[in-house]
């Protein structure tokens, strides 16, 4: 079955430390992966997607099909990065149907 | 940009009742999707509508139904409410129906079933 796993419920780091939010997926076809973020009292919003291969707010994510992973990384965490992060998988050309992981809360303290 | 708007923001219903949730997409967006988010979980796909036609349906019982209107707004209906239907219901719109269309989410409707 198709599945997205985010193994960490909470990740706490100090400001300036590197961050890696883990995401593994289960899907035998050609996946499209996303990271969505929800800041406190704001709506869920797209952070980045693998097909864009871009860096947003210093975050990057590389799709590793061999390890079926799409980990989110940032070399130096900032306090404003504190939020809930969701990894999501779109199956092939399944329109807007995304499978979300359970999310990881990132807490960055000074 | 007004963003995706959902109404009501909060709702309390009794088991067995039915509920209608409403969503207005961003102007120019023709696709609307509905997601259910239970506490502690990620959003789970319920429906997608594009150009007023159902384009996708998640693993939800027939008690859940939806429709899209000519102005692209949408309603989600849930009949015979169960306690387990208590959740945050998210609406998302996108410019087109499929590939390369990022989703823009609303703030959600918090449904509590007692």
Vertex A105: Cα angle to A57 and A51 (nearest 5)? 45
Contact B98 A101 (CB under 8 A): no
CB B71 within 8 A of CB B93: no
Report the residue from A43, A51, A98 with minimal CB separation from B45. Answer: A98
* Residue B66 and residue B77 in contact, taking contact as beta carbons nearer than 8 Å: yes
The answer to whether B98 contacts chain A (CB < 8 Å) is: yes
Residue to substitute from A25, A29, A96, interface B, most B β-carbons within 10 A = A96
pLDDT greater than 70 at residue B82: yes
What is the structure's pLDDT at B91?
97
Segment A5-18 shows an average pLDDT of 97
Of B33, B42, B44, the CB nearest to A96: B33
Average pLDDT, stretch A29-40?
A: 91
Q: Smallest Cβ distance to A95: which of B40, B55, B106?
A: B55
Q: What per-residue confidence (pLDDT) applies to B99?
A: 57
Residues on chain A touching B104 (C-beta within 8 angstroms): 45
Least confident of A5-14, A56-65, A93-102, B38-47: A93-102
Closest residue of B to A36, CA-based?
Answer: B103
Quote the mean pLDDT of chain B. 93
Tell me the average pLDDT across A15-40.
93
Residues from chain A that touch B108, judged by Cβ atoms under 8 A, are 43
Looking at residue B58, its pLDDT comes to 92
B93 touches chain A (CB under 8 A): no
The band of B75, judged by pLDDT with boundaries at 50, 70 and 90, is very high
Spell out a b/e string for A9-36, using b for 16 or more CB atoms within 10 Å of the CB, else e.
Answer: eebebeeeeebebbbbbebeeebbbbbb
Check CB contact under 8 Å for A86 and B43.
Answer: yes
Tell me which of A43-52, A64-73, A89-98, B69-78 is least confident. Answer: A89-98
Query: How many angstroms away from the CA of A9 is the closest CA of chain B?
Result: 9
Q: Which whole number is the average pLDDT over A76-82?
A: 97
**Looking at chain B, which residue has its C-alpha nearest residue A49?**
B102
pLDDT of residue A91: 73
Nearest 10 degrees: CA dihedral of B38, B40, B43, B46? -30
Tell me the CA end-to-end span of chain B in Å, nearest whole number: 36
pLDDT at B2: 77
pLDDT of res. B1: 57
- The pairing of strands A10-14 and A104-109 is parallel
The answer to whether B38 contacts chain A (CB < 8 Å) is: no
The per-residue pLDDT for A43 is 94
Q: How far is CA B21 from the centre of its chain?
A: 7
């Amino acid at each position: 079955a198709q599945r997205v796993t985010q193994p960490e419920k909470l990740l706490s780091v100090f400001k300036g430390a590197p961050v890696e939010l883990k995401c593994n997926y289960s899907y035998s076809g050609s996946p499209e992966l996303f990271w969505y973020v929800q800041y406190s009292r704001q709506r869920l919003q797209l952070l980045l997607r693998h097909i864009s291969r871009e860096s947003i707010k210093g975050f990057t994510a590389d799709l590793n099909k061999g390890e079926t992973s799409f980990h989110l990384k940032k070399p130096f965490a900032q306090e404003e990065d504190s939020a809930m992060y969701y990894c999501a998988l779109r199956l092939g050309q399944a329109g807007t149907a995304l499978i979300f992981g359970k999310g990881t809360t990132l807490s960055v303290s000074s | 940009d007004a963003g995706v708007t959902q109404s009501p923001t909060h709702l309390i219903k009794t088991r067995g009742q039915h509920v209608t949730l409403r969503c207005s997409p961003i102007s120019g967006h023709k696709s609307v999707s509905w997601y259910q988010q239970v506490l502690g979980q990620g959003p789970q796909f319920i429906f997608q509508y594009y150009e007023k036609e159902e384009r996708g349906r998640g693993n939800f019982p027939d008690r859940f139904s939806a429709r899209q209107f000519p102005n692209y707004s949408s309603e989600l209906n849930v009949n015979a409410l169960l306690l387990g239907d208590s959740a945050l219901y998210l609406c998302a719109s996108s410019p087109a129906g499929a590939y390369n269309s990022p989703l823009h989410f609303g703030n959600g409707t918090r449904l509590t079933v007692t």
